[in-house]
Structure 1
Amino acid sequence: MTSPEASVTAGYVHGYSEREAARLGDQADTLAALLHAGTAYPAGSRVLEIGCGVGAQTIHLARANPGAHIVAVDHANDSLAQARARVAAHAPGADVEWHQADLFDLPFAEAEFDHVFVCFVLEHLSDPRQALTALRRVLRPGGTITVIEGDHGSAFFHPASAYAQAAIERQVQLQSAAGGNALIGRQVQPLLAQAGYEDIVVRPRTVYADQTRPALVDGFTRNTFIAMVASARADALAAGLTTAADWDRGITDLHRTAQADGTFHYTFFKAVAVNPASAATAGR
């Protein structure tokens, strides 16, 4: 993020490699039905997507809401360039407007948007409550915000493995050290309440994968979750959080959960809340 928000943001712990961009795409495509179900905006709505990244979620927002005008914002120009290309290729004709901007210095008028969509962003911020409060400024009174976050503490699997669990915990530690929070899913409701939103409804969106659900085994267990944890190897070793042998054993054991006799469970949390009529003074 840019310097004005340095005190309230964290580094993107997963990095910006081509592999990470592909992982984000796999995650969005695999979980589209699970995460986007119920996210419907009326024709003519102005929808702000914060932290659009490489456009992995933007595609699904645009496809599900062809009558809405989506304004996608990210702080990284490189990510925005990838997002434009991705949406042009996979959702041609989508009504999407792109902006490079800082979450805490958005170039929009007060109450400009009917809805705000925030997916996998709060986990990378050191002050997510402040971010949610700041977003109230550009959301009209009575408008809604949708927040989706995961929680690595919800991961459990078979065969059980202390090494695999430790590898996940090392990734959680690295994200925390960078100023983020990989366990934020369980905190979404209180964060929204503290930021002044009302009528908050949070529901778990659970992923369960076994050999009867091969698309989830491949798209989520292998290509989303294990790929994310495995990518932290160099950082975990450099930080002295583990040994190479223990880490590699943990990743091997995680891959066992994607075999024929394995199972994997993870929970995302999806919240919808309303910006109350006092929005005009929010974030000042």
Structure 2
Amino acid sequence: MGTDYVHGYTPAETRRLTDQAGTLADLLHGGTTYPPGSRVLEAGCGVGAQTVQLVTRSPGIELVSIDISEESLAEAKARVASLGSPVDFRLANLYELGDEKVDHVFVCFVLEHLADPVAALAKLRSLLEPGGTITVIEGDHGSAFFHPQSPRAQAVIDCLVDLQAAAGGDSLIGRRLQPLLEQAGYNDVRVEPRTVYADQYLPHLVDGFTRKTFVAMVGSVRERALAAGLMTPAEWAAGIRDLSRSAEPGGTFHYAFFKGVGRT
């Protein structure tokens, strides 16, 4: 879909995506349901972590879930099979989809990896029936605030931001959702932040988000960062160690996702 996936296709990344989806299910999917019989396209389903939420929260929909990775689709099929909800999984590039119409489109953590998100959104708009909707969810790594504050921890986050930019993506894309949707021709665009805050009194978020989602996400690009000469192994280890302190007693972590909805 325009870039390589900077986090890699590994078992560890599959676990991270699963942890993220489960921990943030209500935060990200709250307010998003589709009527039975609606034809819904999930563009970029990955390993199916969000697919599970779609079929669970909107029973009776006709869901088509696409991805460019055969390996990820296999994971998604296996994950959804136990739910007994039929999903039409397809190997496809969203830029090259045909003209098959749908009522709604759902896109989660996909635009950040694309070199031309406006073109992708415009293509998806062309598939929507009149009055159809698109829901887009993206993060923004610039919204990560944590305690204890550490320049070394910030440096490893910046490595991820720089590597994703070098690959053609944008890990700060959340703040751009509103103009991107309008540039792609959507109407009635509404965007709102969905904020995560974790401290020792919210242990499920400390474990599920701070440790298993965010720190794990940054850690997934270690080899790329070292290969690019962005850091030495010692500098990387120190940065991850400092970042991990935000998941320890006395540590805090804040992050904002952005959820946008538009209509044809």
Report if TM-score (shorter chain) is over 0.5.
Answer: yes
CA distance in structure 1 between the aligned counterparts of 2:80 and 2:251, rounded to whole angstroms: 35
Kept in 2, the 8 Å contact 1:210–1:263? The answer is yes
Q: Does 1:98 align with 2:89?
A: yes
191-200 or 244-253, which deviates more = 244-253
Deviations 1:74-108 (A, max 9, x none): 1111111110001113xx22131111111111144
> Could you tell me how far apart the structure 2 residues matched to 1:133 and 1:241 are?
35
How far apart, in 1, do the equivalents of 2:137 and 2:172 lie?
12
Gaps of at least 5 residues in structure 1 are: 2-8, 276-284
Q: Distance in 1 between matches of 2:77 and 2:147?
A: 39
Distance in 2 separating the partners of 1:108 and 1:17: 33
Q: Structure 1 residue aligned with 2:174, among 168, 185, 189?
A: 185
TM-score by length of 2: 0.98
SS of the aligned residue for 1:15 comes to coil
2:242 aligned partner: 253
Cα deviation digits, residues 192-227 of structure 1 (max 9, x gap): 000000100000000000011101000000000000
Decide whether the 8 Å contact of 1:51 with 1:74 is kept in 2: yes
Partner of 2:14: 21
Aligned twin of 1:138: 127
Mapping of residues 111-150 of structure 1, within 5 Å: 112-150=101-139
One-letter amino acid of the counterpart of residue 156, structure 1: F
For residues 99 and 120 of structure 2, the distance between their equivalents in structure 1, rounded to whole angstroms, comes to 15
1:124 to partner: Cα distance:
0.3
Counterparts of 1:53-202 in structure 2 under 5 Å?
53-89=46-82, 92-109=83-100, 112-202=101-191
Deviation of 1:53 (Å): 0.6
Q: Distance in 1 between matches of 2:68 and 2:233?
A: 34
CA distance in 1, matches of 2:74, 2:126: 27
Question: What is the percentage of aligned positions where both structures have the same residue?
Answer: 62
Contact residue 167 and residue 251 of structure 1 kept, 8 A: yes
SS at match of 2:24: helix
Match of 1:225 among 191, 214, 219: 214
Q: Distance in 1 between matches of 2:223 and 2:143?
A: 24
Match of 1:40 in 2: 33
Contact 2:99–2:126 (CA<8 Å) still a contact in 1? no
* Segments of 4+ moved more than 3 angstroms: none
2:254 counterpart of 1:265: yes
Amino acid at match of 1:32: A
- Give, as a single letter, the amino acid of the residue that structure 2 aligns with 1:84: K
2:57 and 2:193 mapped to 1: Cα distance?
A: 21
Structure 2 Cα separation of the partners of residues 214 and 57 of structure 1: 23
Counterpart Cα distance in 2 of 1:271 and 1:95: 27
- Kept in 1, the 8 Å contact 2:104–2:132? The answer is yes
1:242 alignment counterpart: 231
Aligned length: 264
SS in 2 for 1:203: strand
Q: Distance in 1 between matches of 2:213 and 2:203?
A: 14
Deviation for aligned residue 1:69: 1.1
- Tell me the SS of whatever aligns to 2:247: coil
Q: CA deviation at 1:34?
A: 0.2
Letter in 2 for 1:218: D
* 8 Å CA contact 1:66, 1:95 repeated in 2: no
